Structure 1
Amino acid sequence: MKKIIVAAFILFSISTTVVAQDPNFYIFLSFGQSNMEGYAKIEAQDTVNVDPRFKVLEAVDCPAIGREKGKWYTAVPPLCRCRTGLTPVDYFGRTLLANLPANVKIGVINVSVGGCKIELFDKSNYQTYIAAAPNWMLGMLKEYDGNPYGRLVEMAKLAQKDGVIKGILLHQGESNTGDTTWPAKVSMVYKNLLGDLQLNAQNVPLLAGEVVHAEQGGVCAGMNTIINQLPAVIPTAHVISSKGCTDSPDNLHFNAEGYREFGKRYAETMLTLLGYKLSK
């Protein structure tokens, strides 16, 4: 009798977990350095008419804006840390919602650190990188308890209780300019994420954006040649062109309009992978 009761309890627990996970709640992880973190100033147009179906899972505590780590909020920027700016993730989510069925919700998690190399997200060797990190980066790292990769996985596991991870967004490379081993390093991070979150690469593509393009005078534009090698190393990777995305005077970061366009391009690629077309 006891065995029957225990078996019934286990079945009930499993069914409860399945019901709790909404298959129409699409989750996207994002990580990288300053262009993914959000460098451009948030403008008035970016804070209004945000669809409540677009959610952000806060990855750090932000008492100044009334947000707590590990809780969902309507995705009004900032979407990374408490004082970061506009990011491609903003208009990635908005564009997805404008082109997906009305019953679909979008959730994003953004764990990014301005100025970092991809090595910061190497779960086996990040401590070595942090030991030599510049002083100006330490405050950002502290907000993630010194382990951005670990925080991304922690938040992703929370999100998996509510929805289904559908993709991973990356924008990083400026600090690795000229590093021909970058694609292999990204591949390792991607594989680690898939393994730690029990995901299948075929169901969770990697979308990686180019840095500021040569036509915009990008100071790191040479890195785009290396970024475009990513699909040869990761079959489920897709590179998002930055050509024509307007940038700031430093020719390193995109400006607000550039982020809006870039986010739409990430979304257009993701929509195609999901079986939809960009119509709005």
Structure 2
Amino acid sequence: MTHSFLMIGQSNMAGRGFLKDVPSIHDEKIKMLRNGRWQMMAEPINFDRSTSGISLAATFASSWRLFHNQEDDIALIPCADGGTSLEDWSVEGPLFQNAVSQAKAAQKISNLSGILWHQGESDSYGQKHQLYKEKLSLIIETLRKELNAPDIPLIIGGLGDFLRDGIYGQYFNEYNEVNAALIQFAEDHDHTYFVSAEGLTANPDNIHFDAISQRKFGIRYFRAFEQKNHILGRLPDEDQIIEMINNRPLTKNEKHELLQFQLAMGAIEVEEFQSQLAKLA
């Protein structure tokens, strides 16, 4: 069975963590939706911009793999788009309609098991937080209705405490109010769970979570999904779970996929590729 998860929101859901800062994750049982088909996950998963990088999705999926049936696949449906506000996610707009279309396509080939949401930076100024819960309610209620999934779990994450210190800090001066709205939204709605960004750190821009924080955030998202409860702070075993994920031995198929990537990127020569391939035979 394949269990799929819809990823929606803005850039911190799409992921902007630097690829070079963390070990890559390869797992043939983790898929991502491309052109209506499942492909083996490769980061960046949510390629919405040329700046896309590490997101929370890989460790969310890897944590799921650690603690669930090893025979099942987990699959990611990337639909987040950087810099977008709740207005951009209005139910009449192209982002929402695309997310519905992609999720419906996934429902034909998987069990749609959850929705991962991270958004709010673009609504952290100009008193936009006052209508945040109302607008988000319409988006989520319509999404669940369109997907015929009224009880599907929704995991929503908090904004980082570093936002006011960033290069565009003046546009995030109401991020605390948005966080409060997100927490209240989760409290007020069934099957909805809030995940704290406590202690998570940023790229030098102080806008986007850095790669290691995205790895930790994904584990928190998974724990909220697994326990069907809010995660209101750091988890004591985040580092241990990341280590378990990083140290998992690669399968033959995963090694083959990695070799193909290295060859395509010019990291190894054809002779080395053929030599390593022969060792896998």
**TM bin (shorter chain):** 0.7 to 0.9
| Structure 1, unaligned runs of 5 or more | 1-23, 59-68, 127-146
Q: Is it true that 1:28 corresponds to 2:9 in the alignment?
A: no
Counterpart residue number, 1:54: 30
Distance between the aligned counterparts of 2:164 and 2:63, measured in 1?
Answer: 24
| TM-score, normalised via structure 1 length | 0.72
The structure-2 alpha-carbon separation of the partners of 1:238 and 1:217, relative to structure 1 and needing over 3 Å to count, comes to farther
Percent identity among equivalent residues? 27
The equivalences for 1:72-221 within 5 A come to 72-81=38-47, 83=50, 84-124=52-92, 126=93, 147-177=94-124, 178=127, 179-201=129-151, 204-213=152-161, 219=169, 220=172, 221=175
Shift of 1:266: 0.3
The structure-2 alpha-carbon separation of the partners of 1:216 and 1:238, relative to structure 1 and needing over 3 Å to count, comes to farther
Which residue type is aligned with residue 32 of structure 2? V
Distance between the aligned counterparts of 2:66 and 2:161, measured in 1?
Answer: 27
Distance between the aligned counterparts of 2:228 and 2:73, measured in 1?
Answer: 17
Aligned-residue RMSD, C-alpha: 2.3
Shift of 1:214: 5.8
| Structure 2, unaligned runs of 5 or more | 230-236, 242-281
SS at match of 2:19: coil
Shift of 1:251: 2.0
> Contact conserved, 1:117 with 1:173, CA < 8 A, in 2?
yes
> Contact conserved, 2:21 with 2:211, CA < 8 A, in 1?
no
Shift of 1:46: 4.2
Distance between the aligned counterparts of 2:64 and 2:165, measured in 1?
Answer: 30
The structure-2 alpha-carbon separation of the partners of 1:161 and 1:259, relative to structure 1 and needing over 3 Å to count, comes to same
Q: 1:235 aligns with which of 176, 185, 190?
A: 190
| TM-score, normalised via structure 2 length | 0.72
The structure-2 alpha-carbon separation of the partners of 1:227 and 1:44, relative to structure 1 and needing over 3 Å to count, comes to closer
Distance between the aligned counterparts of 1:47 and 1:78, measured in 2?
Answer: 10
Distance between the aligned counterparts of 1:42 and 1:55, measured in 2?
Answer: 19
Counterpart residue number, 1:14: none
